[in-house]
Each structure stands twice: as C-alpha cells, then as structure tokens.
C-alpha cells in the first residue's frame, strides 16, 4: 500500500478530502550573488520595508523571513522599520524562521560553524524578539548534510524547509516527510513544490496545482511561498490580490494565508504516517565544491584558526590581562560573524561574481591575520613566563583540543653572527633526534629546517634546549628504515614506485616482507579534462565522467629531495597543456603514512583537474567525514562533498585505504577508482543556457587561475575515530618558536662549536 493510500485510509474514507494550501509571502534574499554585499544591504532594507507596507495594507496576509544578518542591517540602519517589524512579529503576522545567521552552504562548514550559525542566530532573535524559531529554513542551499537533523534537534528544532534538490534529482514519495539524520533524530520536513520564487500572478495557479498534485491524500495540508526573491522584492500587491481572489477557486482546495509553523502544526498529527528519508539530501550543483577554490581554502583555514585561537585562550588565557581576554572574546564573536556571512550558499560554493569573491577572500584573510597575531601574543606570553635559561630554547605548544603525535617542522634562527651545529634536548635532559632538511629560502645555505618527532598533549607546552656540538645530525637514513631512489621509496610499511606520469604502484608490505599491490591500471595520475558545465555544475550529469584530455607528465626519474632518518621525499615537475604540477611524495620511517603534496599552476579555461587513484580491488563501501559525523556511501560515479577524510573498504581487508585531504572537498568513489576533483576553471557566476553559451564568454574572467596547493595523506585501513583525530591535527598543528631569554649571547658562544673538553662560561 502506498503512502497516499495509507494516509487516505487513516483519515477515514471521505469522498473528497479537503486540502489546505498555506500561503506565506516571502522574499529569498541573496546578500551576495550577482552583486556585492552593499547591494545586498540595500535589497534587505527595501524588501523588508515593502513587506511591512503590504502587511499593513492587507490585514489578511502574513510574511516569513529568517536570517539574523538581515535583521541586523535593519536594526542598524532603519530603527523605525525594525520597530514596526517587531510589532508585526508580536501580532503573529511576521514569522521568524530559520534562526541561523544566514542560509549557508549546508555541506561544507565544520560542525563548529553550524553550531555558531545556530547559536548566533538564536541568541539574536531571543534578545530582540523574545522568541526562537523551531523551523529550520534553507530553501536555496544546494544540498543538506546527513548530520543536520541531529544538530537541529539538539537546539529544539522540530521542522525543516528546503527546496533543493528537486524531484528530478532526488525523488520523494511525498514533499512532506520525516528526515532522519545519521544520529537517528528526525525533523518533519517540507520540500518546497515548484519554487520559493512566485513573482507573477500567473505563477500562482501553477504552484497551487503542483502542490495539489504532489501532496498525498490524507495529509490535508501543503505549503506555498509567494513573492519575488534572490534580489528581493517580496509579494507585490497584485500577487496578494490574486491569492485573495482564488482562495476558493478549487473545489477540493482552500487557500489561506498562514505561517510555516502553523502548516507544520497542522501536519504534526499525521507524523507517523509520513514517509522517512534517511541520510543526506542530494543531488544538486555538485560542481560548487571544486570551483572558486581560494574561497574554500580560506574558509577552512579561518574556521580552524578561530577554533584554535579560542582553545589557546582557554588553555593559556590566565597569562593575559583581563582587558586583553575580554577584547579577544569580543573580537572572536565579530570574526565568527564574518566567517558565518561568507558561508552563505552563493559565496562559499563559489557561484558569485569575481568582485564579490575578492570581498570574501579579503574578509577571511582578515580573520586569519587577527588569529595569527593572537596566537603570537599567547605563545610568546607563555614563553616569557618561563624562567630564563642560558641556552637557546625551542618551545612547542599544542593549542588544539586534540593530542598531537607526529613531526613538528621548525626553522630555528641559530646564525646570529655565524653558523654552528647543535643537539636538541627535552625537558628531562634526553637527547631528541631530529632530521635536517631544506628551509623555505633555498638559496640560504646557513639556514635549515628541523623535522622533530614528538608528542604533545592538548593544551600543553613542550620545551627543548638547543646545545652547541661538534657532532653533526645524521643526514642519511639507515637502509632498513627508508630506502629511496629516483624510481621508488620503501619503508617497513610501504613500497612506492614512480614514473613520469605519477605514482605507478603503491604496495603494502606484509609482516613476512612480501608486497601487496594496491593500485590498478596505470597508477595514480593527475588528469585534465574538458568541462563545459556551468559554474555550479547544475547543467549536465551529476558526475564527471568525461574522457581526460591528458595527464601531467615529466621526467621518468624523480629528484630525491629528502633522505633522512625519519622522512624521505621524491619530487617531480610535470606538465600538461599550459599548466604545471610539482608533485612531492613522502614516506616516514616510523608511521604507515604516504603523503602527496601537489602544487598545481593552472593556466586553463573550461577545464577540470582530477587526482585519480585507481584501486586493484573492487570497492564495497566508503565511509566519509561530514560535518560532525560520518556517513557510509556506496560506490558510485556521482560526485559527493566530503570533509577531511574517507575510509574506502574493499572485499580484501588488506586492500582498504584511508585518505585524508584537508583542502579537497569533493570526490567520487567508484568500484575501482577514487577521483578527487582538484579544481574547475570556470567563468565567474556563469549560467549559460542558450546555444551561444561559448560564444558569449568572450574575455570573461575565469575562476581558479594561478597556483594552488593540495595535501593528501594515505594510510592503511584506519578506524574512523582515529581519522577524525588525525584530520584535526592536520588542520590545527602545534606552534613552534624560539626563545633566547637568559641566553649568553656573546661572540665566543655564537661563532663556533666547542672544542673537545671545552665548556662555555
């Protein structure tokens, strides 16, 4: 029996059950899209003023608006309008929904950002209007993460409204359903039928007919929004009058002005009969997760910089004066609002004009600049609070909430007036081995970088001493730890073979020393392919199956860039078309991880770059990081967003692989291939729909031109909780710095290493 039949019979056999269509005036407001933020402020003021005027003109009507940012602009710039809106809220005719700061992209942000969206918005509405919404409201967001029902339920939400993806992309038995998250919590959810924009009277009949057709018998209620959106406008007088004239135009349907919450309350008694949709809501505009990459990398960095700065304040804030602590908290609140604003669903996905993209990057870089200064302030206060010491010290602070174990990289300043060698000792006086490698300024022979393996608990400080010595640190690894040649590297965990096109094979080393190959086909390569989809990736299939135009190719012999006791690195520069790729592959002697560092310089248009990782064994499932949770997915050619990591499982337990990528955001895991989309070089905000799409491009500005960097970590099959911790460490590594407080800084000490038996005074 279908859901329609169940609902029909559950209500009793009536000849013609009545359908009530709840109509609410609305204006979807994009503060940034084909325009910049100042124009978004104008549209918010104009639209809400018009909405207020229509409510006063037509007492029967109601209006719905979410997004705390919109109300903030009105409160600051038009207090009279803000006061009258408050009065209409009290009357129940102006409904506040959503409760978030803005309608963000609902896949990309971290769970901390979603909490901030919720807490910032709810606190604002509570303080200004004395109420908090119970309806989540994201009509235009391009997809919705499977963890959102659990998050919203935690904050008291009961209902949710969305429009995307539509029925062609995600078929549903009913537009009114129960959305169940990965944690088991449910929201009664309504997918908007037809459109959130109904800007003309002749659209009204189309929308109501669509609601009548799609609403199962027995539910008895449907939801329709009315008005001009995107750049605002709301419901005009002729739209309102058209609805009023058609309230009883259908024999079995009543059209009433209502509110979203009244609609859900009317549906609530039918909850148990509603169908259930589990997991994520996809599939729409997947190309957004790999276009306009600079916004995304700045956003991820800004999120984690704020998270880590707050953690640093909590761990070490006692060293700051009260006024500095208060100032920091105030700044964090303001900076979080900048982050939340730029998570808007036409900014973060990259579907905006170029000038607005520059605004977003500037905002996010400002967040990063403040957090960098704050981190410097806190760490140096921590260092200066330590007692003086006659030798130079190195401090390492783990400001994160996650324990660290791995390699810390640091470039100490030991030159002063001459070069000398030194050894490293920890707090207990134990000799700490390290590996010397190239610094960032390669042309400086007397400057170098240290690779130091260490542990540091969350919120803790480590202290080391740099002591002059005649003994040089070892520069060559023992053969049983890491062996490296221009064609391969090998440790006790892996053997990696390389050629001109990339990594030809990765083999897992078994306990008996035999090798288990992991890669299939021609190996791991970076491909270029034509991409004539629009900027969103809306038009065309929901996958990237185009035949590649070529792969990056370079010299068959790679350069040995590092070879030490802890890490070895092979490096190659390769080319395809007009673009270049610097590819570094790293192995570690003490941990089973392989790292790919890619530096891609894109000079292409209407192209897409992909890292392809073919697997020898068939994939049976993959479990992916999503905001605050994990989600199991089946192999598919479809492109999906993911957050930080994936665990890919095959039928052979030895062949499973975990991949972390903190700065890649969408991929497909097929039966025998992993495809990580690196970038899409597209015109800004390009929605070509006609036959002359290409000819109209002309000299349009394109996204993703220039240099971009990517970091991948491959490990054997790893528990997902460990992957979450490892990914956090990648995003929030420890901070290292030098301290010379109390050091004996005179020429005898600085210019040379001690002679045998000599001690410095």
Of the listed ranges 346-360, 421-435, 692-706, the one predicted with least confidence: 692-706
User: Which residue's entry shows tokens 């659990």?
Assistant: 150
- CATH T-level fold of 3-284: 7-stranded beta/alpha barrel (3.20.110)
SS3 per residue for 121-162 = HHHHHHHHHCCCCCEEEECCCCCECCCHHHHHHHCCCCEEEE
Min mean pLDDT across 121-130, 297-306, 564-573, 687-696 is at 687-696
Q: What is the secondary structure of 491-518 as a DSSP string?
A: -SSEEEEEETTEEEEEEEEPTTS-EEE-
Angle, CA 105 vertex, CA 706 and CA 187 arms, to 5°: 160
HEC sequence for 434-496 = CEEECCCCCCCCCCCEEEEEEEECCCCEEEEEEEECCCCCCCCCCCCCCEEECCEEECCCEEE
**Is residue 7 predicted with pLDDT exceeding 50?**
no
Average pLDDT over residues 397-424: 86
3-class SS at 198? strand
**Topology (CATH level 3) of domain 392-474+739-750:** Immunoglobulin-like (2.60.40)
* Predicted pLDDT at 540: 76
Q: Which of 3-7, 567-571, 629-633 is predicted least confidently?
A: 3-7
Percentage with pLDDT > 70 across the chain: 92
Residue 9, pLDDT > 50, answer no
What DSSP assignment string belongs to 631-646? EEE---SB-EE--EEE
pLDDT band at 2 (very low <50, low <70, confident <90, very high): very low
pLDDT reported for residue 227: 94
- Kindly state the greatest CA–CA separation across the chain: 106
Are the beta carbons of 138 and 98 closer than 8 angstroms? Answer: yes
Per-domain residue ranges for the chain? 3-284, 287-384, 392-474+739-750, 483-684+700-718
- Residue 16, number of CB atoms within 10 A of its CB: 8
Which pLDDT score, from 0 to 100, does residue 477 have?
53
Instruction: Work out the number of other CB atoms within 10 angstroms of the CB of residue 102.
Output: 26
Between CA 705 and CA 600 the distance in angstroms is 10
Q: Is the Cβ–Cβ distance between 710 and 595 less than 8 Å?
A: no
Burial of 318 by CB count in 10 Å (0-12 exposed, 13-18 middle, 19+ buried)? exposed
102 contacts 344 by C-beta, under 8 angstroms: yes
As a whole number of angstroms, the distance between CA 577 and CA 528 comes to: 9
Q: Is the sign of the CA dihedral 614, 616, 622, 625 positive or negative?
A: negative
Would you place residue 11 in the very low, low, confident or very high pLDDT band (cuts 50, 70, 90)? very low
- In the chain, what is the straight-line distance between the N-terminal and C-terminal CA atoms, in Å? 92
> How many DSSP H helices and E strands does the chain contain?
14, 38
Closest CA to 655 of 710, 611, 595, 613: 613
Task: Report residue 261: phi and psi, to 5°.
Answer: -70, -35
Please state the rounded mean pLDDT for residues 39-49: 97
568, 560 contact by CB (below 8 A): yes
Task: Give pLDDT, residue 698.
Answer: 74
CB count, 10 Å around CB of 13?
7
pLDDT at residue number 747 = 53
Query: Would you state the torsion angle of the CA atoms of residues 309, 291, 67, 266, taken in this order, to the nearest 10 degrees?
Result: -120
Report, as an integer, the average pLDDT of 151-159.
98
Place of tokens 């002591």: 467
Domains 287-384 and 392-474+739-750 share a fold: no
> From the centroid of its chain, how far is CA 579?
26
Quick check: 5 pLDDT over 80?
A: no
Tell me the CATH architecture of domain 483-684+700-718: Distorted Sandwich (2.70)
What interhelical angle do 322-341 and 293-316 show, nearest 10?
160
Helices in 613-753 by DSSP H: which ranges?
720-731, 747-750
CA distances from 439 to 396, 397, 713 (A): 18, 21, 22
d(CA 708, CA 292): 11
Q: What SS3 class is residue 87?
A: helix
Mean pLDDT of the chain, nearest integer: 92
pLDDT 10s digits, 400-411: 999 999 999 999
Q: Which pLDDT score is estimated for 727?
A: 97
DSSP label at 192?
A: P
- With beta carbons less than 8 A apart as the criterion, state whether 220 and 269 touch: no
Q: What is the pLDDT of residue 538?
A: 85
In the predicted model, is pLDDT for residue 608 greater than 90? yes
CA angle 478, 483, 487 (to 5 degrees): 160
DSSP assignment of 199-252 equals -SHHHHHHHHHHHHHHSPTTT-EEEEEEBB-BB--B--HHHHHHHHHTTT-BTT
Is 58 a residue whose pLDDT tops 60?
A: yes
Residue 669: its pLDDT value, please? Answer: 97
654 in Cβ contact with 558 (< 8 Å) = no
- Model pLDDT for residues 451-502, shown as the tens digit of each residue: 999 999 999 999 999 988 766 655 555 556 899 999 999 999 999 999 999 9
Burial class (CB in 10 A: 0-12, 13-18, 19+), 573: middle
Distance CA 748, CA 699 (A): 64
CATH 1.10.20 fits 287-384, yes or no: no
Comparing 17-26, 276-285, 749-758, the range with the smallest average pLDDT is 749-758
According to the model, what pLDDT value does residue 694 have?
Answer: 63
The rounded distance, in Å, linking the Cα atoms of 173 and 189 is 13
With 90 as the cut, is the pLDDT of residue 757 above it? no
């Amino acid at each position: 029996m279908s859901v329609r039949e169940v609902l029909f019979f559950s209500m009793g056999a009536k000849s013609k059950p009545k359908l009530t269509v709840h109509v609410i005036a609305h204006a979807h407001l994009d503060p940034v899209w084909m325009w910049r933020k100042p124009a978004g402020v104008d549209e918010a003021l104009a639209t809400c003023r018009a909405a207020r005027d229509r409510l006063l003109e037509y007492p029967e009507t109601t209006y719905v608006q979410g997004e705390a940012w919109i109300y903030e602009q009105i409160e600051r710039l038009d207090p009279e309008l803000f006061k009258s809106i408050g009065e209409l809220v009290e009357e129940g005719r102006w409904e506040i929904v959503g409760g978030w700061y803005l309608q963000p992209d609902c896949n990309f942000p971290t769970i901390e950002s979603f909490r901030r969206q919720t807490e910032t918005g709810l606190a604002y509405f509570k303080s200004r209007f004395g109420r908090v919404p119970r309806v989540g409201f994201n009509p235009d967001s391009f997809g919705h993460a499977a963890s959102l029902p659990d998050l919203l339920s935690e904050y008291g939400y009961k209902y949710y409204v969305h429009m995307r993806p539509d029925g062609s992309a995600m078929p549903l038995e009913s537009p009114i359903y129960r959305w169940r998250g990965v944690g088991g919590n449910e929201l009664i959810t309504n997918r908007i039928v037809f459109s959130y924009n109904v800007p003309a009277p002749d659209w009204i009949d189309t929308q109501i007919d669509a609601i009548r057709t799609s609403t199962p018998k027995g539910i008895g209620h449907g939801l329709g929004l009315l008005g001009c959106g995107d750049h605002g406008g709301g419901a005009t007088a002729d739209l309102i009058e058209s609805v009023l004239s058609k309230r009883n135009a259908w024999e079995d349907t009543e059209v009433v002005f209502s509110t979203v919450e009244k609609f859900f309350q009317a549906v609530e008694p039918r909850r148990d009969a509603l169908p259930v949709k589990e997991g994520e809501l996809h599939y729409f505009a997947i190309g957004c997760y790999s276009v306009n990459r600079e916004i995304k990398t700045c956003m991820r960095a800004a999120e984690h910089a704020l998270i880590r700065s707050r953690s640093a304040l909590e761990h070490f804030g006692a060293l700051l004066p009260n006024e500095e602590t208060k100032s920091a908290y105030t700044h964090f609140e303001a900076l979080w609002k900048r982050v939340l604003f730029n998570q808007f669903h036409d900014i973060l996905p990259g579907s905006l004009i170029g000038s607005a993209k520059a605004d977003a990057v500037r905002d996010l870089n400002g967040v990063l600049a403040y957090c960098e200064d704050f981190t410097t302030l806190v760490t140096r206060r921590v260092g200066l609070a330590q007692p003086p010491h006659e030798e130079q010290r190195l401090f390492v602070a783990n400001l994160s909430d996650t324990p660290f174990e791995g390699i810390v990289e640091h470039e100490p300043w030991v030159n002063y007036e001459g070069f000398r060698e030194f050894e490293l000792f920890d707090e207990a006086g134990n000799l700490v081995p390290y590996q010397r490698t190239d610094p960032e300024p390669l042309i400086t022979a007397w400057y170098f970088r240290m690779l130091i393996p260490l542990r540091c608990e969350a919120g803790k400080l480590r202290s080391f001493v740099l002591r002059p010595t005649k003994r040089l640190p070892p520069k060559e690894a023992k053969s049983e730890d890491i062996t490296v040649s221009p064609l391969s590297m090998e440790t006790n965990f892996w053997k990696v073979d390389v050629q001109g096109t990339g990594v030809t094979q990765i083999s897992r080393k078994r306990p008996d020393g035999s090798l288990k190959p992991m890669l299939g086909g021609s190996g791991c390569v970076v491909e270029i392919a034509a991409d004539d989809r629009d900027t969103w990736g809306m038009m065309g299939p929901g996958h990237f199956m185009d035949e590649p135009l070529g792969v990056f190719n370079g010299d068959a012999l790679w350069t040995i860039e590092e070879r030490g006791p802890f890490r070895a690195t092979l490096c190659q520069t390769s080319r395809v078309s007009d673009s270049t790729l610097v590819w570094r592959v790293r192995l570690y002697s003490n941990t089973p991880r392989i790292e790919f560092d890619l530096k891609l310089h894109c000079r292409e248009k209407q192209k897409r770059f992909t890292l392809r990782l073919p697997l020898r064994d068939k994939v049976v499932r993959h479990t992916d990081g999503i905001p605050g949770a994990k989600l199991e997915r089946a192999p598919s050619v479809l492109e999906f967003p993911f957050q930080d990591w994936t665990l890919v499982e095959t039928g052979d337990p030895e062949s499973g692989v975990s991949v972390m990528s903190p700065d890649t955001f969408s991929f497909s895991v097929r039966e025998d291939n992993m495809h990580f989309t690196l970038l899409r070089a597209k015109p800004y905000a390009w929605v070509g729909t006609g036959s002359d799409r290409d000819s109209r491009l002309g000299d349009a500005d394109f996204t993703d031109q220039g240099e971009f960097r990517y970091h991948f970590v491959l490990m054997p099959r790893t528990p997902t909780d460990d992957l979450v911790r490892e990914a956090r460490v990648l995003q929030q590594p420890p901070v290292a710095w030098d301290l010379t407080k109390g050091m004996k800084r005179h020429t005898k000490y600085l210019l040379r290493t001690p002679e045998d038996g000599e001690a410095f005074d």
